[in-house]
Amino acid sequence: MKIDKFVLSIIVVIIIAYFFPEWGIENSKIPTNTISAIGISLIFFFYGLKLSPTQLRAGLKNWKLHLLVQGSTFLMFPLLVLILRPFIQNEEQETIWLAFFFLAALPSTVSSSVVMVSMAKGNIPAAIFNASISGIIGIALTPLWMGLFIDNSQTDFDFTEIYLKLIIQIILPVIFGLLLQRFFGEFARKHSSKLTLFDKSIILLIIYKSFAESFYNNIFSAVSLLDLLYLFIGVVVLFGLAFWLTGFIARKLHMNKEDQITAQFCGTKKSLVHGTVFSKIIFGNMATIGIMLLPLMLFHATQILVISVVASKRASDKQIEIE
């Protein structure tokens, strides 16, 4: 097993934010806000360039699989976390719960979902369709979910402003990318690995800024190593439940093995790209934004580790059995 380099990079960035938080605060001489805003728009412009209409059309017909993946992503995950809300007893628990709910409300990730489905010999066109459409649906649904529970005293949650930012920073760049795809689409797909490196660099910058502000304001003073262990256990339990439930429903719907794999792999992933971007737009300069990203980053590491192991096992199993 190799440790994912991006996970290591996140750890390094958080360490840098701890020792040098002044680079990422609001009045820093380094224009991190401007750089990240431009970077976000470019990420989704390249996303539009790389979208393949042919592959998306090929995955349209399998509506049962699409409903299961999107239902798992945007309904089952939030409901699993929502069950715990009545047990909240104080403000600290409220913040942690909200961070988990933010994770649960996020769309699926694109690249790793498709790669893992391909490795496990699942339904690749359906994986491309679901992973791609999930990000578009998330632009509408994630803020709606969060708007139900965010306290306006903590952050100015204005649907009009949030959706305006989403349109300017995400939707318009995707549209421009799609319009220019006939000219630069092949080039973007050919250099996909380099564009992915750019995406990850912007994500790391947003993570640094989020944690720098939290460290600078001493937000993590109340978070102990034991708390981090509890967070990690919570993330693993959430992922395990979602993975099992998605597979169980897929079998009950009598899906073939390839579709079962796609449902489990795409329906249980959460996008770190969308999470970091959405956190910047939804939570703004909220003091606890670093804590809001903690479950997501733990989930990111967990999903990569577990899905990689499962995908490798499926790849080596000629019968592609779903346990």
CATH number, domain of 258, equals 1.20.1530.20
* Range with lowest mean pLDDT among 39-48, 97-106, 228-237: 39-48
Amino acid 66 reads H
pLDDT digits (tens, 9 = 90+) for 128-150: 788 778 888 988 899 889 888 87
Query: Residue 57's pLDDT is what?
Result: 67
Residue 166, both tokens: 């989403």
Is 277 inside a domain boundary?
yes
Segments of 160-284 assigned E as strands: none
Query: Residue 186's pLDDT is what?
Result: 83
Is 197 inside a domain boundary?
yes
pLDDT digits (tens, 9 = 90+) for 194-216: 887 888 888 788 778 877 877 87
Q: Which domain holds residue 42?
A: 5-310
Is 321 inside a domain boundary?
no
Amino acid 19 reads F
Amino acid 94 reads E
Is 317 inside a domain boundary?
no
To the nearest 10°, report the CA torsion of 77, 78, 83, 87.
Answer: 120
Nearest to 77 by CA among 167, 154, 138: 138
- Residue 320 pLDDT > 50, yes or no? no
Average pLDDT over residues 112-126: 74
Query: Residue 211's pLDDT is what?
Result: 78
- What percentage of the chain exceeds 90 in pLDDT? 19
- Distance (Å, rounded) from C-alpha 24 to C-alpha 135? 27
* Range with lowest mean pLDDT among 59-73, 104-118, 175-189, 293-307: 104-118
More confident residue, 159 or 229: 229
Query: Which residue carries 């694109």 as its tokens?
Result: 110
Is 323 inside a domain boundary?
no
Query: Residue 251's pLDDT is what?
Result: 93
Is 322 inside a domain boundary?
no
Q: How many CA atoms lie within 13 A of 31 on its CB side?
A: 5
Residues in CB range of 285: below 8 A, 6 or more apart:
26, 155, 213
To the nearest 10°, report the CA torsion of 262, 111, 234, 240.
Answer: 20
Average pLDDT over residues 301-309: 76
- Residue 125 pLDDT > 60, yes or no? yes
Average pLDDT over residues 35-61: 76
Segments of the chain assigned E as strands: none
- The whole-angstrom distance between residue 249's C-alpha and the CA centroid of its chain comes to 23
pLDDT digits (tens, 9 = 90+) for 207-261: 788 778 778 777 666 667 787 888 889 999 999 999 999 999 999 999 988 899 8
What is the band of 153 on the pLDDT scale with cuts at 50, 70, 90? very low
Arithmetic mean of pLDDT over the chain = 81
CA distances from 292 to 72, 142, 148, 296 (A): 21, 14, 16, 8
Is 318 inside a domain boundary?
no
User: Residues 247, 50: contact at Cβ < 8 Å?
Assistant: no
Residue 238, both tokens: 């959430």
Average pLDDT over residues 171-188: 85
Residues in CB range of 300: below 8 A, 6 or more apart:
7, 10, 270, 272
More confident residue, 304 or 14: 14
- The whole-angstrom distance between residue 16's C-alpha and the CA centroid of its chain comes to 23
Average pLDDT over residues 264-292: 80
Query: Residue 286's pLDDT is what?
Result: 67
Number of domains in the chain: 1
Q: What is the DSSP string of 258-305?
A: HHHHHHHHHHT---HHHHHHHHHHHTTT-TTHHHHHHHHHHHHHHHHH
Average pLDDT over residues 267-277: 85
